[in-house]
Chains A and B, each alone.
Chain A
Amino acid sequence: MRFRDVEIRKLSDTMWEIPREGGMRVPGLIFASEAMMGDIVRDEAIRQVMNVAHLPGILKCSIGMPDIHWGYGFPIGGVAAMDAEEGVVSPGGVGYDINCGVRLLRSDLTVDVLRPKLRELVGALHREVPSGVGSTGFVRLTAADEEKVLVEGSRWAASRGYASAEDIDCTESGGKLPDADPEAVSVIAKKRGRNQLGTLGSGNHFLEIDEVAEVFDEEAARAFGLFPGQAAVLIHSGSRGLGYQVCDDYLVTMADYMRRNAIDLPDRQLACAHIRSPEGNRYLSALAAAGNYAFANRQLLAHQARETFLRFLGMGPSDLGMRLVYDCGHNNAKFEVHEVAGAKRRVLVHRKGATRCFPAGSAEIPATYRHVGQPVLIPGEMGNASFVLAGSPEAMRVSFGSTCHGAGRRMSRTQARASVRGKSIVQEMEKRGVLVACASHKTLAEEIPEAYKDVSEVVAVVHDAGIARKVARLRPVAVVKG
């Protein structure tokens, strides 16, 4: 397989190596099938994996997941681990939507029970869960409240009665990232975030009602509380304008740091600073704060969804049984301990469009899941499927405990809009058995299923490569989009 003048070496049916060349400090490693590689080499994602390999302190390899596509600086679907002492941190390695992620709520209901009133239920969710540009959340934050959100994350939501102890336990990092410092977040970023807590946003963010269509791993599904035919809610959102602004602010800070420290990299969007520098340290404090905002945001969205179900169905919480299965981010950088060259090392793992997937036995996953591994939530293209996976030991060996994050785009937004000109996406989706309520028909057209890779193929690669294992397939029956 070739990318321009670069020969990419096939290691197995699911793994490809980009050899070191020029200023690359480590090789590149792509997880993909042969057919997917054909798509991947068509845009600039491979070049970006190679560019990331130039970063100071990068360990083992610069990694691309099967849902990889062209980003800015780092590719979307990229993983890079840096030595915690000598390495750098790069805002472009996390992305603008800091700690964007997914949460899955399970219920005791089957979709068959919901189906007769599904249209009204989707309408209610669309009204009650704020989405689209300019929407504001149901909580009014003072400046002091917002600072607490930045430090406490989901635990702030719990203090206001919007989260249970179980919600906190089933959120990655307990819904609170350590070392967050609101002082490291700019006034503008805080201004952008003040009214947006508890809002879905726009673009590829969504809330969907799913049916558990297929179970692959009975034991893990049982541990996660999932069964065939079950109704579940999947929420995809992030840190809203606050996170975007934090990334934007620090890209400028780090471009200046690179100039002063004569760090030369192939792309300006790879701007970085040494982890131990004041600039690197301050970004990590802001990153944790924005990450906490994202946890609190998804918690409020889940609270609104749960309350809407209860009110609409006239049920009590114990009859509905709507509990959080898990909440995991897919845009972050976290300090973790991994084995490198036979020795345990503290590293900073950048995951941009990649999900942490720790195996059974890990102390960092809820005790109830520790015998089966961390739940990993992979949203797919609208109207097709989403997947629940579980963490596996192989991921610790080859991908710094990381796996894919979604379907990954294959068509540009302009192509997507052109391909649906004159059609009603809402009607098309309804024919496929998916009710859609949306804030913007323009965004909806850009998010048609054909614009994405087939999530089943993406998941098959990570399953076959052993960097996660399939637990259940979800089939969307209704979607609320921003």
Chain B
Amino acid sequence: MGRKLTDEIRDVAKGWRWGRRTMIPRSAESSTPPPKRWDFPTDWARSDAAGVARDLILDVGLRSIIWNETSPEVFGLDNLEGLKGPVMFISNHSSHLDASIIMITLPKHWREKTATAAAKDYFFDVWWRSAFTALVYAGFPVERGAGERATAKAKELIRDGWSIIVFPEGTRSTDGWLQRFRHGTSRLAVEMSMPIVPIAIVGAYAAMPKGRSWVKPGRPPIRVRYGHPLFPREGETHQQLSLRMQQAVGELFDEDRTSWWQAQSRAARGETPKLSGPAGPGWLRTWEGTRPIRRSGEPPTWT
């Protein structure tokens, strides 16, 4: 008896992983009921006051850090001209930098009415991460694999005029290559009849892949390419739309690798290189996926 309260608090905080994801002893996993469903409230993060705070965090805080640690370039924002929200921004997803870069590079009048879909089991698991996601990205939780329930909040926001940022792969790529697009994204776009703006983020994987908590040294280049908006066609199924979305992102990657003209030509011939990476063992995909990204101004060293 008689231990200091601070020691007790430290033991409890460490033992129960305060501020981190709760973990269940392995032998108890099968007998422990899942935690109670609890939705972190996010509506406050879309208020005007939160918008001001978000601008400050993104433009002063995160922009300074990311633009200092990496060399980002943005192309194709002109594709947003004349477009009216709400729209769905979709992008490949290979790094924690992705959402920040899109939010920072979006024109201010778009950003102030754009929210980010974030995985509930990761970004909304502990209070501080939930609050950060909600405030900085105007994030709202999406329950992976929850079907209709997963898109309920997104539909509510779209009806309120909010554009949304979605990563259709559902999770970050582990090897830098594009994963299969989940159909929930295209189904939502079809149901809401909303335009889709494809975005390709090139170099984020090389700069900060999954598993890293900070950007690699050397100010690695990152290029963000906004593409032409896609519109769901009359009678188009969500599967068809999903393929078009992948094709659009693929063309943007091709454009980055070659030129706008070559990419267009190859797309017209149906020869846009696949983004799913080379077939083969895992190491080969990672090897290929981690090839250095050329810096702007340098001629491409590979095709």
A, B bound: no
